[in-house]
């Protein structure tokens, strides 16, 4: 195929390469790169193009294979780099979470001082039972017992609240 004949067909082949690339998931810029590579390869083999029944099919096949190779070479994005869509809670869920937090905060304030302190040290400060016992000057078993009582009291309140 001579240069003039190639130039006459080049636009339609380039458009085919673009469409195929984008239909297989390439973005506009990536599809442009693929189409450019296809056109370069077609030009490199322009003397042999007459032996193909459909240069358009050849173009589509080349575009698809080049895109797959391009995607294989691309390093995968980590979860932090990707945009996560649709996880934010609805306004109703946000209001519910706010009310639950307010209720829990109020309920924690109503606990006896010792129980409230123990829960704070264990859950917020992430202290071990031994550390808490040492700081408060009580036995480790007492820490476990008092924490269990505080948690049980909160659990009962949660159960009563949810049954209303």
- Interval 62-108: pLDDT, tens: 999 998 888 887 766 665 655 555 567 788 989 999 998 999 899 98
For residues 62 and 51, what is the distance between their CA atoms, to the nearest angstrom? 16
* pTM score, whole prediction: 0.46
Mean of the per-residue pLDDT values for the chain? 86
Per-residue model confidence (pLDDT) at position 7:
84
- List the one residue out of 57, 20, 73, 15 whose CA is nearest residue 39: 15
Output the pLDDT for position 82: 54
Q: What is the pLDDT of residue 130?
A: 92
Tell me what percent of the residues of the chain surpass a pLDDT of 70: 91
Average pLDDT over residues 17-25: 89
122-135: per-residue pLDDT in tens?
988 888 999 999 98
Higher pLDDT pick, 86 / 149: 149
Per-residue model confidence as pLDDT tens digits over 28-67: 888 899 899 999 998 898 888 888 888 899 999 999 999 8
CB 49 within 8 A of CB 1: yes
The residue behind tokens 């691309």 is 74
Residue of 162 and 15 predicted with greater confidence: 15
Mean pLDDT in residue range 139-164:
89
Helices (H) and strands (E) in the chain, counts: 7, 0
């Amino acid at each position: 195929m001579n240069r003039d004949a190639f130039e006459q067909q080049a636009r339609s082949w380039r458009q085919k390469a673009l469409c195929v690339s984008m239909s297989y998931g390439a973005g506009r810029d990536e599809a442009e790169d693929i189409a450019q590579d296809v056109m370069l390869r077609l030009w490199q083999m322009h003397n042999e193009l007459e032996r193909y029944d459909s240069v358009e099919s050849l173009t589509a096949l080349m575009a698809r294979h080049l895109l797959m190779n391009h995607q294989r070479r691309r390093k995968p994005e980590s979860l932090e780099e990707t945009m996560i869509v649709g996880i934010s809670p609805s306004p109703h869920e946000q209001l519910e979470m706010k009310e639950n937090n307010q209720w829990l905060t109020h309920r924690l304030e109503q606990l006896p001082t010792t129980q409230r302190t123990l829960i704070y040290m264990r859950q917020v400060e992430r202290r071990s039972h031994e550390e808490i016992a040492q700081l408060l000057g009580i036995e480790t078993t007492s820490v476990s017992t008092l924490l269990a009582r505080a948690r049980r009291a909160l659990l009962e309140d949660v159960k009563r609240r949810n049954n209303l």
